Amino acid sequence: MQAAERQDSAPPRPVRYGLIGCGDMGQVHAMNYVQQSGLVETVAVCDINEANIRALLKHLPDPAAVRVVTDYRALLDMDEIEAVVVSTPNDRHLEIVRDAFAAGKHVLCEKPLEVSLARSRQLVDAWRASGRILQIGLVYRYSPLFRTMAEMIRAGKIGVPLMAWCHEFRQPFPVGRTREWRYDAARSGGALVEKDCHHFDLFNWMLGAKPVRVQAMGGQLAVKGAGLGLVETGVIREPYPADLVARSGIYDHAWVNVEYENGTKANLGLCFFAPDFGLPFGVLGSEGRLTTRLVDGRLEWMRYDYARGAHETAVIDRQSAIHGFGQIGHSGGFDQHVEFCRCVREERPAFCDGQVGIESLYPAFAGQLSIAEGGRVVTIAELTETT
């Protein structure tokens, strides 16, 4: 009995990882999963840029033991690797993930799925046919803050959720170190796809419904090929080269309205100027509201009592859960690896799987189409019928 108890208490065997893509997000992944007290063993890393590889290896506990390749297919041929993390530019996801499934690997793939709905659908189809685990890097699904918000909504703390909003007022995407690909819509999918799939996914999750119609207005004011020239371009300590400004093909500001199948509504504001790094987010219900600024690590809850003309408020602090041990990058970045490892060991589906990933893209692609067509109302049905 004592031997059995000792065996049961032994730490689980590490999941053997391969990491494909060693740029900014690859390094964030490495910094998060290296903190997991033995849950992950990094077998190999891959990137076509040697500087990225050198930078990432500094975050690993034993870089000399890690195999380095520049062709991802060589990494997929390594039998000892069970799971791969794909953090390449978005237009490479389909090819790499499909090949990873063919090699029998489980996959944690950075968001978004791909640069078009058609390619995203192909990736989802490959996942469904593979029998492997696919987890998408929509990290807020794993954030203690947003999980608490979702739990409170499901428990009826604000009555019926009716409206949601988010302001992603940020600096432009960074440049240098081969990061300019985000300004090429053919490689990134566009700003609403590359970045705001996070926030559209939060809307879908919190409102508990599927989007049906989108109307948006936006354009280029800060980073632009043509625009009003009102905003000086750049990020602090990162001046933008003139040729990048001239060829940028993404929207740098937008208001996006989303209507859901149950009549609920959501609004996203995006701008690449006048930054507010707090990421204000809120859900309004029939009997109250929940609001947060992610940087503060807390929820503010207000519940109304219309009959008595009174209300009650509370602050739910999640600061330690967000900024505690191992939490690097977006809230949930550490937690998503913990859960991915559990899914691999227990052979169970990911909470944020391919279906969640593609549903986060419907409002994004519809919003960009609406902007391109002068604010036309775009139905999700017209997009899905062509993919």
Taking only the tens place, the pLDDT of each residue in 78-87 is 999 999 999 9
pLDDT confidence of residue 298 = 84
Residue where a domain terminates, one of 110, 139, 168 = 139
CATH number, residue 295: 3.30.360.10
Same-domain check for residues 260 and 130 = no
pLDDT band at 235 (very low <50, low <70, confident <90, very high): low
Distances (CA, A) of 363 to 94, 119, 190, 226, 261: 20, 16, 13, 25, 13
pLDDT, the chain, mean = 88
pLDDT confidence of residue 245 = 61
Domain presence at residue 344: no
How large is the average pLDDT for residues 221-229?
59
With 70 as the cut, is the pLDDT of residue 226 above it?
A: no
ω into 112 cis (within 30 of 0) = yes
pLDDT confidence of residue 11 = 64
Domain presence at residue 348: no
Domain presence at residue 335: no
Strand bridging mode 310-317 / 298-305: antiparallel
pLDDT confidence of residue 5 = 40
Q: How many domains does the chain have?
A: 2
Same-domain check for residues 300 and 357 = yes
Q: Domain range spanning residue 52?
A: 2-139
Same-domain check for residues 376 and 258 = yes
6 or 262, greater pLDDT: 262
How large is the average pLDDT for residues 115-131?
98
Same-domain check for residues 226 and 280 = yes
Domain presence at residue 92: yes
Domain presence at residue 244: yes
**Alpha helices for the chain (secondary structure H):** 2-9, 24-33, 50-57, 72-76, 93-102, 117-130, 144-154, 185-188, 191-194, 197-207, 242-247, 319-323, 333-346, 354-359, 362-372, 380-384
Same-domain check for residues 255 and 374 = yes
How large is the average pLDDT for residues 226-242?
52
Same-domain check for residues 145 and 264 = yes
Same-domain check for residues 214 and 294 = yes
pLDDT confidence of residue 3 = 42
With 60 as the cut, is the pLDDT of residue 67 above it?
A: yes
Identify the residue whose tokens are 């993390």.
85
Query: Which residues, at least 6 apart from 271, have a Cβ–Cβ distance to it below 8 Å?
Result: 168, 169, 170, 221, 222, 252, 253, 254
User: Is 357:349 a contact under the CB 8 Å cutoff?
Assistant: no
Same-domain check for residues 130 and 205 = no
d(CA 352, CA 331): 15
Domain presence at residue 336: no
3-state secondary structure of 42: strand
d(CA 6, CA 365): 52
Same-domain check for residues 299 and 378 = yes
pLDDT over 70 percentage in the chain: 87
pLDDT in tens, 331-387: 888 899 999 999 999 999 999 999 999 999 999 999 999 999 999 999 999 999 876
With 90 as the cut, is the pLDDT of residue 36 above it?
A: no
Residue where a domain terminates, one of 91, 113, 139 = 139
Domain presence at residue 347: no
CATH number, residue 134: 3.40.50.720
pLDDT over 90 percentage in the chain: 70
How large is the average pLDDT for residues 320-340?
71
Which tokens in the block code for residue 190?
């566009």
Residue where a domain terminates, one of 87, 109, 139 = 139
pLDDT in tens, 245-279: 667 889 999 999 999 999 999 999 999 888 888 89
Same-domain check for residues 131 and 163 = no
Same-domain check for residues 144 and 134 = no
With 50 as the cut, is the pLDDT of residue 209 above it?
A: yes
Same-domain check for residues 128 and 146 = no
pLDDT confidence of residue 2 = 43
